[in-house]
Every structure is written in C-alpha cells, then in structure tokens.
Amino acid sequence: MKNRIIAMALVIVMLFALSACGKKQEAAPTPAPTEAPAAPTEAPATPAPTAEPTPAPSAEPTPAGVEPDSGVHTIKSSTKNFSIDYDSKYVANELPSGAIIINAGTEEGIPYVTVSIMEKEIMGQQNVTDATSYLLSLSQSVVEELGDAIISAPSQLPSPIEGRDLIGFYYVFQDGGNNIVCTYFAEKAADDSIVVYNARSLEGEDLTTVNSILQLAVESFKLGA
C-alpha cells in the first residue's frame, strides 16, 4: 500500500515536470514584420532661373523738323525754295504758307521767329517795290489793326548784321494781359523778292533767345537751296 502511494506521487511529480518543460520549449511568437521605412523622396528639382530678355530701348518721338541730336541744322521750305539754319534745341517747322517758324517755347506759343518770302507777284499786287516800302506799309497796317492795344508805336531798327542791307522796326502791344514785342526785318533777295524776318517775345523776357535765333536765320538764309 505504501509502495503504491509512493509510486502515484512520483507519477504526479513527473507530470508537473513535463508540463513545465513543455511550456519552456514553446516557440516564441514570431514578431510581425515591420515595414521598411520608405526611401526619402527627392525634392523636385528647382528650374534654373532664366534671364528675362532686356527690351530694346524705344526711340522717343522727336518734334517735327527737329533732328534727334544737338547742334545746328538746316530746314528748307518746300514751296518757297529757301533754307535757313537753326539750333536743334528749338522746334523748326514749315507753315502752310511756306514760311519757316522756329519756336523757342512751345510749338504754338512765343517766343518764336518766322522767315518768309514775299514774291514779286505778291509785291505787285500790294504796290510794294522794295523792303523799305513793304515795312512802311506793314507798320501803318499794324497801327490801324491794333489801335489802343499798341503800347509802343513802331520804331526803326538798325541792321543786326553788318554789311547786310536789312531794315527793320519793332513795336509793343498788349495781348491777354501780356506785353508782346514784335520785331520785323526785311531785305531784298537775289531774285528781287523780299525776305521777311519776324520775331515775337514777351517784353523783358527771351530777348537774348530770339536775337540768337534771328541772327542765325539771317546769316544762313539761302535762296534756291
């Protein structure tokens, strides 16, 4: 009986030992595979900056009759067949009558100088025989037309160019609250027509400017050029 009990105890002990051993031999669970980190994506390539084309400089419009550079230039009357020189810092144009106008101010305002020709045909119609008779007739017309607007009556002027047979006069009149000085010179041309030079400026202003324009026009005048 005693031996039987001992044998049963041994069996129980062996069962516990086998159970513990079996637990130790169980394979550890395989860990779930981890995903490999994604390869870093390359940053999109930044395009190299392209140089913007430099726009070509646009040519600035120049006033009619004026050269784009500075200096003395020539303008010709296409209908009256004469030419004069002028400083290109001023504006020179041909008028519908064929006269040349040189503006030192705006294109339409004073001061300015005009050069024109009275042809023999017109001289005959107006009973003008030479430069002297033309200016005498003109001065009389000025007085009649302007009347009380005249501040200083026409007065004779000497020739501005030595050796040239120029005669002239000037007068001052009021216009729009301004005192305007008007000067005329005239001379006989090679074809017996009369060349007329006229300058207008504000009294007390622009005298040096109009005188320089007038002198260059007189000195450079060419008939048939």
The pLDDT tens digits for 9-36 are 444 444 344 444 344 444 444 444 444 4
Q: Residue 153: what pLDDT?
A: 93
Q: How many domains does the chain have?
A: 1
Range of the domain at 120: 72-223
User: Which of 172, 190, 185, 181 has its CA nearest to residue 217?
Assistant: 185
Instruction: Assess if residue 10 is contained within a domain.
Output: no
> Residue 83 CB: number of other CB atoms within 10 A?
17
Instruction: Assess if residue 125 is contained within a domain.
Output: yes
How far, in Å, are 15, 150, 210 from residue 5 at the CA level? 16, 163, 152
Instruction: Assess if residue 104 is contained within a domain.
Output: yes
| Residue 62: pLDDT over 60 | no
197 Rama class: left (phi>0) / alpha (psi -120 to 50) / beta = beta
> Considering the entire predicted model, what is its pTM?
0.67
Q: Give mean pLDDT, residues 84-104.
A: 94
Looking up residue 196, the CATH number of its domain turns out to be: 3.40.1000.10
